[in-house]
Structure 1
Amino acid sequence: MSLRILITNDDGIDAPGIAIMAEIAAAISDDVWVVAPDGNQSGAGHRFSFGRELALEEHGHRRFAVTGGSPADCVVVGMTHLLADRPADLVLSGVNAGQNLGDIVNCSGTAAGAREGVLQGAIGIAMSQSMDYEVTHSPDWTNASRFGAEVVDAIVAAHRGDDVFYNVNFPFCGVSEVAGLVAVPHQRFSRSPIRHYPSDNAGRFFMAIPETPKPLDPKADFEVLRRGNAITVTPFALQQTHQGALERLGSIELKKAR
């Protein structure tokens, strides 16, 4: 029996990257479903649209959009409604237009799609095609298209029921320059990269990432992707409890009220 695959993204149902992801999935299975937001949800993180009615629109064979929905909403609709009889074995989120690296993964809607896939019982893989923003804001999808299915196969083969989702980034370089698939930790920045950024319009501003906090670990995802031209994969644990802090807190007591 083929893997049942559910695809989502945060760039919207008509984004070029989701078409690339559909091609990747089709090379692996003939049981592929797409449920994505009807528009751009970049930076939505793991938001759910509680208390607000949503609608599911059919956009073709096994292809649906959730109006106003987030990537996490889309995965829930796919896994618990459309595929309720047999939920997907694998959730693929992306391919995102632009890299998702380091602490930026915490606010990524692409990452959230894969994370919610794992929470719903599937293997979850987020995929992003990086680009040099100083040169262009239109990614070259060649590396994602060329290596995507092979990367998915490798991750699925290595998966052992771990409580993780996988974050993959493809480098912006020629196909012949790709240095392989490298498992790396994510870059923990010295501070949040998200900043207030003033607009040219008076009284207005943006949330933006104007620069990358330094220093950078040469062995972490950011530098391995950028300098090493490698496809990076990072497993992110869903169990986020810090054991050291848990043990320290276990020994504290409240002072008795006088």
Structure 2
Amino acid sequence: MTAISTARILVSNDDGIHAPGIEILERIARQFTDDVWVVAPEEEQSGAGHSLTLSRVLRIRKLEDKRWAVAGTPTDCVAMALNKIMGDEKPTLILSGINRGGNLAEDVTYSGTVSVAMEGTLAGIPSIALSQCIRPDQRTKWETAEQYAPKVIKSLIEMGWPQDVLMNVNFPAFEPDEIQGVRVTEQGARQIMGNHIEERTDPRGFKYYWFGLGREVGQPGHETDLKSVREKWISVTPLHLNMTHDETRRSMAEAITQTF
């Protein structure tokens, strides 16, 4: 693996073009290069996952030089940036975020932030998703991500990683001076069936619902993303786009062969 170039950086997110996290990430990107492009959703797209808009038109809006808003999903933003907005000179690195709220465990399957990095990786561009964890009834510790993200990004790009892997970085919901360091972690797990669905009633008497996260499932002996941020460590999780489970594939191949 070789070091990754930061000559041209694309910044995107799922919180929207005006989110505070993307402003921070743009400032961080400019520590590595002057050639920074921002292409992000016109409005918040949290939970959009890796969805691509196919059934309606897409509109884009130029806000200023190298800064565009897309009336679509995070995946749409990357596709538009690579195939339309940025022309023939593709980015050498894609940074996604900084998301308000962690993208841990199964969050990665729902997250538009992570999906930006997925789409970039599919296009052969090294990509990093960054998220700032939050805690209820507390302000977002943006200063933690802003202080440590440059160091984490620098370390990652100097090491490099395989082409079909993306990096998922989560900063704990603690003050900068409380952070213990960085851990390379596994993707954790929550008890999805334990999701809390809160029922409320609006002023007109109609019911509506809020989804809550499921309970964390302990994995003894594992350094998971969930465990690390809880213990005040920055979590770096390499995610692989090839979702084939090789052990199951091998055992099933042997078993199914015997039935024919």
Q: TM-score, normalised by structure 1?
A: 0.90
* Aligned counterpart in structure 1 of residue 228 of structure 2, from 224, 227, 240: 224
Aligned-residue identity in percent: 33
Counterpart residue type for residue 152 of structure 2: V
Counterpart residue type for residue 172 of structure 1: A
CA RMSD of aligned residues (A): 2.1
**Residues 214, 13 of structure 1: CA spacing in aligned structure 2 closer, same or farther, 3 A cutoff?**
same
Q: 1:127 maps to what in 2? A: 130
Q: 1:176 maps to what in 2? A: 177
Counterpart residue type for residue 160 of structure 1: W
Q: Is the 8 A contact 2:189 2:216 kept in 1?
A: no
**How far off is 1:51 after superposition?**
2.5
Q: 1:188 maps to what in 2? A: 189
Structure 1 segment 25-174 matched on structure 2, within 5 A: 25-67=29-71, 69-133=72-136, 135-136=137-138, 138-174=139-175
**How far off is 1:103 after superposition?**
1.0
* Aligned counterpart in structure 2 of residue 24 of structure 1, from 25, 28, 33: 28
Q: Distance in 2 between matches of 1:210 and 1:92?
A: 26
CA offsets 1:3-29 (integer angstroms, 9 cap, x no match): 211011000000000000101100111
SS at match of 1:102: coil
Counterpart residue type for residue 237 of structure 1: H
Q: Distance in 1 between matches of 2:164 and 2:193?
A: 26
Q: Distance in 2 between matches of 1:194 and 1:159?
A: 37
Gaps of at least 5 residues in structure 1 are none
Runs of 4+ in structure 1 deviating by more than 6 angstroms, as ranges, are none
SS at match of 2:190: coil
SS at match of 1:118: helix
What is the aligned length? 252
Greater Cα shift, 77-86 or 205-214: 205-214
